[in-house]
Structure 1
Amino acid sequence: MSFKVLGGVALASLLASVTALDNGVARLPVLGYNTWNAYQCNIDQDLMLTTAKLMKSLGLLEVGYHYVNIDDCYAEKNRTASGDIIPDKIRFPNIKAMTDEIHAMGFKTGIYSDSGWFTCAGYPGSFQNELRDATTFQNWGFDYLKYDNCYIPYDDIIRQGIVGKYQRMADALATLAKTSGKPPFVFSLCEWGWSQVWLWGKNFGHSWRVTGDIAPEWNSLAAIINFNSFITQGTDFSGHNDMDMLQLGNGGLTFEEAKSHFTAWALNKSPLLIGTNLSAITSDILGILKNTEILAINQDPVVGQSISPFRWGLNPDWTSNSSFPAQYWSGPSQNGTVFMLLNTLNEPSTMFFNLTESPWIRAGRQYSVRDLWTHTNNGTAVRNFTAHNVPPHGVVALLLKDAGDEPSGIFPACSVWFQCADKNGTHVGG
């Protein structure tokens, strides 16, 4: 995938003109489950109920995974004579009873459709049936809609750009909320980022896919992280860059890569939708998914913005490299400054940075260090921090809290001495 990187000022200016869709739902990233990556079309009513029961028994509901979402392939191949989508008669004999039972367990439910003639797997899409289908989905008891981008109508039929194509369903959902008096749907755009959706998606949805489909391998993760490193300004309350489903436990990733995957997605404030067969999940992967300190950053009620790179590391800053993305990231949170150190190398690495390289750190202060993976308090950082022997494709996640003035008498007077000067104009050397 090739793309043109906008300069930081130009991108920030464009994003400033876009307001988030704030209709009372999905102010924070959605946490839950989606069937596609583990099962694709091999889904039925029993699987959905079993999955919900497993999510509850494994403690995933307790830590915030509230959505149980069906993806493609749940419907009959043809609409009824009156034009309605109907569930597969064999695999989903009573879809409303299913959603009622899942709701009774404490979850919400999600479903899937497409902005074109058909879904990506060839089932009925919602083009020219947007309000009809939205009403159907609500009557079936669903709360969330993932909306895909396959089988686009000919230009002389649609007479819309990609924005207008998604606006059709956004308008239908808004109309439905107004006329039904029920809570609005969470609307997740699956547009794959081809038309800079991070610039306009906030007008319509609560999240938007920014790349093509994820695969359970490091190269796929690295490419998605690289792409997202240039568009982090797109995420804030009620609007989130969607980096695609979590691939933990699907094979192809080492344990350290799985931790990096979860950390990068969570701290970038992406929706966290598990795409794993939960009946085969290991305790190690479950432990990653239930890291409440990382989840607390993703679900921060005070700060909605994503972490962003402050230094690329291996490459010069602002370099796009789908194999070796940015390594040094930070961002604000309600409880301190969050750091993510990502070792993109194929060998262990020692990672060092000056604290004030992050724009969220104050000069002349010292900071307590909390490791969000070892769940330990690791002393105080003064001016800089070093993480030793970070594993290949591994991650360090830290929360730094202001701990007062740094000790007096430290030389040099400035830890980052470029353009640092005495009041008489004398520059301070390193």
Structure 2
Amino acid sequence: MPSSFKTLGTAVGILSAASSVRALQNGVGKLPVMGYNAWNAFACNVNETLVLQTAQYMKNYGLLDVGYNHVNLDDCWASKNRTSTGEVLSDPIRFPSMNNLTAQLHSMGFYAGIYSDSGWFTCQGYPGSFMHEEQDALTFQSWGFDFLKWVADILPVPFDDVIREGMVGKYQRMTDALAMVAKQTGTTFTFSLCEWGWSQVWLWGASMAHSWRIDNDIGPYWSSIATIINAASFVTQATDFYGRNDPDILEIGNGDFTYDEAKTHFTAWALMKAPLLISTNLATISQEMLSILKNTEIIAINQDPAYGTSVSPFRWGINPDWTFNSSFPAQFWSGPSENGTVFMLINTLDEPTDMFFNLTESPWIRAGREYSVRDLWTHTNNGTVTRNYTATDVPPHGVVALLFQDAGDEPAGLWPLCAGEAATQCTAENGTTYY
């Protein structure tokens, strides 16, 4: 692949260190992947022509220009049977030449992704890669793919007396295979894990992959988005450069999302530093939904080169802190960025509401300072604030995304001398306490 192409985006190198496999932290794969995955839009009704048409839409709509540089296949690309020597084959009608497909995607400026399963079969009954991991990894490399989505489906898992491994071992088999391919050919893959069980995967996913799923499959409706945001709120510490929680693909343009719900969906995924993989029919997507996907100020936070960490809740809001509630997840989030402190406020209610917080509730804000406010959705500078902020009339299931930048000392003469959470502990040198 020419060096000029490599400057376009992210790939992840998987290398072996003795018997373990880990992501190589050399700047490759540092940031979340952005691109397209066909599954939620087309499921098994996919072919080479449709994939290339979708890639062309991504170029025409400017999605490639703002960073969406992966086009990934999901299930159903394969023939139902392997060859007599065990090679997996692409469907001869729908995907007559994988090398031609990847070559055309590369020539358009995209990375190319493929999907496989850790069991006997994929979710849709096509050949899985169990006991063919190295063989399949070499095949994917020879076809020119750069990205691998690796799934542990429930149904095709081999019997215990066959696999003799736990959940981590099923993934380790392919990470070892990718390490072997990297050593033999110099080719690297982005490796994305998909395992349903958010409470466990984040504990070990970073040791072997670019990203790992944290919850069940996403659906094109608000309750699914709220459920995933709730799950993510308890594991934000797992995300950083080279490895991140994956809340599943983007449903922007699918289902019956309102505009505000779609904005919340995109904002949460982006600011949690998740992979941003569009999964909608780009032939029919509205300009309104495209404008959400192309918000470069939100994308800039997702692709921040200085901070790889997710935003995290500093207050749950209508629920006590640390409440697990799939319908009403945490509402007040913040995190550091290259250019200031990012705030995400989510109205989980079914009616508009005002959302108030004290600035120093966020650990990234300094007391006694004034902050300028940038609205990342209206793209406006909204003056300065001290001590607290109120977002007014936030729409139902809507979001506010703000960037606060230090603007110097707060104005003199403010009273009380201390405000917010620390007020009852604010004491002069002579011992006088101020409230």
| TMscore range, shorter length | over 0.9
Aligned-partner Cα distance in 2 for 1:342–1:20: 33
Is 2:360 the counterpart of 1:361? no
Aligned-partner Cα distance in 2 for 1:19–1:373: 37
> Where does 1:43-122 land on structure 2 (aligned, <5 Å)?
43-122=46-125
- The aligned counterpart of 2:255 is 251
Aligned length: 411
Label 1:195 to 1:185 Cα distance change in 2 as closer, same or farther (>3 A). Answer: same
Tell me how large the CA RMSD over aligned residues is: 1.2
Q: CA deviation at 1:20?
A: 6.0
Q: Partner of 1:280: helix, strand, or coil?
A: coil
Label 1:195 to 1:306 Cα distance change in 2 as closer, same or farther (>3 A). Answer: closer
| Residue pair 1:21, 1:202 contacting (<8 A) in 2 also | no
CA deviations over 1:323-343 (Å, ceiling 9, x no partner): 000000000000000000000
Q: Partner of 2:304: helix, strand, or coil?
A: coil
CA deviations over 1:23-80 (Å, ceiling 9, x no partner): 6532100000001000000000101110111100000000000000000000000101
Is 2:232 the counterpart of 1:228? yes
Letter in 1 for 2:434: V
Aligned-partner Cα distance in 1 for 2:414–2:199: 50
CA deviations over 1:206-246 (Å, ceiling 9, x no partner): 00000010000000000000000000000000001000010
| Residue pair 2:371, 2:386 contacting (<8 A) in 1 also | yes
> Where does 1:316-355 land on structure 2 (aligned, <5 Å)?
316-355=320-359
Is 2:185 the counterpart of 1:180? yes
Aligned-partner Cα distance in 1 for 2:109–2:161: 46
TM value normalised by structure 2: 0.93
2:138 pairs, out of 135, 143, 166, with 135
1:166 pairs, out of 168, 171, 192, with 171
Q: Partner of 1:52: helix, strand, or coil?
A: helix
| Residue pair 1:237, 1:304 contacting (<8 A) in 2 also | yes
Is 2:433 the counterpart of 1:427? yes
Aligned-partner Cα distance in 1 for 2:196–2:66: 29
Aligned-partner Cα distance in 2 for 1:195–1:394: 27
| Residue pair 1:21, 1:204 contacting (<8 A) in 2 also | no
Q: CA deviation at 1:19?
A: 8.0
Aligned-partner Cα distance in 1 for 2:22–2:321: 29
CA deviations over 1:161-199 (Å, ceiling 9, x no partner): 1011100000110111011022x1000000123561111
Q: Partner of 1:133: helix, strand, or coil?
A: helix
CA deviations over 1:256-300 (Å, ceiling 9, x no partner): 000000000000001000010000010000000000000000000
Q: CA deviation at 1:425?
A: 3.4
Q: CA deviation at 1:251?
A: 1.9
1:303 pairs, out of 301, 304, 307, with 307
- The aligned counterpart of 1:213 is 217
Aligned-partner Cα distance in 2 for 1:89–1:20: 34
Aligned-partner Cα distance in 2 for 1:62–1:137: 27
Letter in 2 for 1:379: G
| Residue pair 1:21, 1:206 contacting (<8 A) in 2 also | no
Aligned-partner Cα distance in 1 for 2:81–2:431: 77
2:157 pairs, out of 140, 152, 157, with 152
Aligned-partner Cα distance in 2 for 1:428–1:168: 61
Q: Partner of 2:274: helix, strand, or coil?
A: coil
% identical aligned pairs:
66
Letter in 1 for 2:274: S
- The aligned counterpart of 1:12 is none
Aligned-partner Cα distance in 2 for 1:418–1:110: 55
Aligned-partner Cα distance in 1 for 2:418–2:308: 31
Letter in 1 for 2:78: A
Q: Partner of 1:203: helix, strand, or coil?
A: coil
> Where does 1:387-398 land on structure 2 (aligned, <5 Å)?
387-398=391-402
Label 1:95 to 1:404 Cα distance change in 2 as closer, same or farther (>3 A). Answer: same
Q: Partner of 1:60: helix, strand, or coil?
A: coil
- The aligned counterpart of 1:413 is 417
Aligned-partner Cα distance in 1 for 2:290–2:213: 25
- The aligned counterpart of 1:286 is 290
Letter in 1 for 2:168: V
Unpaired stretches in structure 2, ≥5 consecutive residues = 1-20
CA deviations over 1:326-383 (Å, ceiling 9, x no partner): 0000000000000000000000000000000000000000000000000000000111
Aligned-partner Cα distance in 2 for 1:159–1:224: 32
Is 2:32 the counterpart of 1:25? no
Aligned-partner Cα distance in 2 for 1:32–1:286: 13
1:242 pairs, out of 246, 257, 265, with 246
Q: Partner of 1:278: helix, strand, or coil?
A: coil
Q: CA deviation at 1:424?
A: 3.2
| Residue pair 1:118, 1:126 contacting (<8 A) in 2 also | yes
Aligned-partner Cα distance in 2 for 1:206–1:168: 16
Q: CA deviation at 1:423?
A: 2.5
| Residue pair 2:34, 2:70 contacting (<8 A) in 1 also | yes
- The aligned counterpart of 2:267 is 263
Aligned-partner Cα distance in 1 for 2:26–2:73: 23
Letter in 2 for 1:427: T
Aligned-partner Cα distance in 1 for 2:399–2:335: 16
| Residue pair 1:21, 1:205 contacting (<8 A) in 2 also | no
Label 1:256 to 1:382 Cα distance change in 2 as closer, same or farther (>3 A). Answer: same
Aligned-partner Cα distance in 1 for 2:243–2:37: 19
Label 1:194 to 1:299 Cα distance change in 2 as closer, same or farther (>3 A). Answer: closer
- The aligned counterpart of 2:15 is none
